[in-house]
Amino acid sequence: MGVLDSLTEFMGSQRKPRLLEGEALLEYALRALAARAHTVGELREKLQRRAVSQAEAEKALRRLRQLGYLNDRQLAESYAQARLENEGLGKIRVLHELCRRRLAPELAEQVVEQVYAKAEETRLIEEFLRRKYRKVCLQDLLADPKGLASTYRRLRSAGFTAAAVMAVLRRLIKDPELLDRLGAEEEA
């Protein structure tokens, strides 16, 4: 018996999770919610893997909504608020994360716009730079083309718009020609 045969036999011998229904499925959902907050989409996916039928999963979701344990709007608001206040991330990143958590895109966009309504993006970028580069001389880092490109990419991946990132970097950089070259590379 070869290695591949052994692996196939092992994978086939792993036990399948027991399918649940009724109260057992509801208890499973409550345990999942006790571990962390889930969107309706995330919990639906989890329940459908363990439920006897899709109807049982939907029944459990309805019951959880009635009990007030599932509220996508409330979850999205607290999630976006926490990402803004604790990590200082940009709108784009938070929006992508909410959509990845199976939240309706329209609801995610609406909530993110509401939470970020009073947040000034350039101030968020400056705070992000201060926090992430506190042990580094930012002026020296931005004087190096590779350091500038790295900082630009890091700010973009943190969810800030290209225009706002360029505006802040333009104020901080000594040689605007480096930034123009970075902008030209970004467009290409």
Question: Per-residue pLDDT averaged across 29-55, rounded?
Answer: 95
Q: CB-based contacts of 56: which residues, under 8 Å, 6+ apart?
A: 20, 21, 22, 25, 47
Name which of 45, 46, 40, 42 is nearest 62 in CA terms.
40
| Residue 117 backbone dihedrals phi, psi, to 5 degrees | -60, -40
Q: How far apart are CA 38 and CA 72, in angstroms?
A: 8
CA atoms lying within 13 Å on the CB side of residue 146: 0
Ordered DSSP codes for 125-158: HHHHHHHHTTTS-HHHHHHSHHHHHHHHHHHHHT
List pLDDT tens digits, range 103-112: 999 999 999 9
List pLDDT tens digits, range 133-170: 999 988 899 989 899 999 999 999 999 999 999 999 99
Name the pTM for this structure: 0.82
Q: What is the pLDDT of residue 185?
A: 59
Q: What is the pLDDT of residue 55?
A: 94
Question: Per-residue pLDDT averaged across 6-11, rounded?
Answer: 58
Q: What is the pLDDT of residue 166?
A: 92
Q: What is the pLDDT of residue 100?
A: 96
Instruction: Select the more confidently predicted residue: 177 or 129.
Output: 129
pLDDT > 80? residue 51: yes
Q: What is the pLDDT of residue 1?
A: 52
Q: CB-based contacts of 157: which residues, under 8 Å, 6+ apart?
A: 93
List pLDDT tens digits, range 79-115: 999 999 999 999 999 999 999 999 999 999 999 999 9
Which percentage of the chain shows pLDDT scores above 90? Answer: 74
Per the CB < 8 A criterion, the answer to whether 113 and 152 are in contact is no
Q: How far apart are CA 38 and CA 160, in angstroms?
A: 26
Q: How far apart are CA 79 and CA 94, in angstroms?
A: 8
* Largest interatomic CA distance in the chain: 67
Question: Per-residue pLDDT averaged across 24-48, rounded?
Answer: 95
Q: What is the pLDDT of residue 20?
A: 87
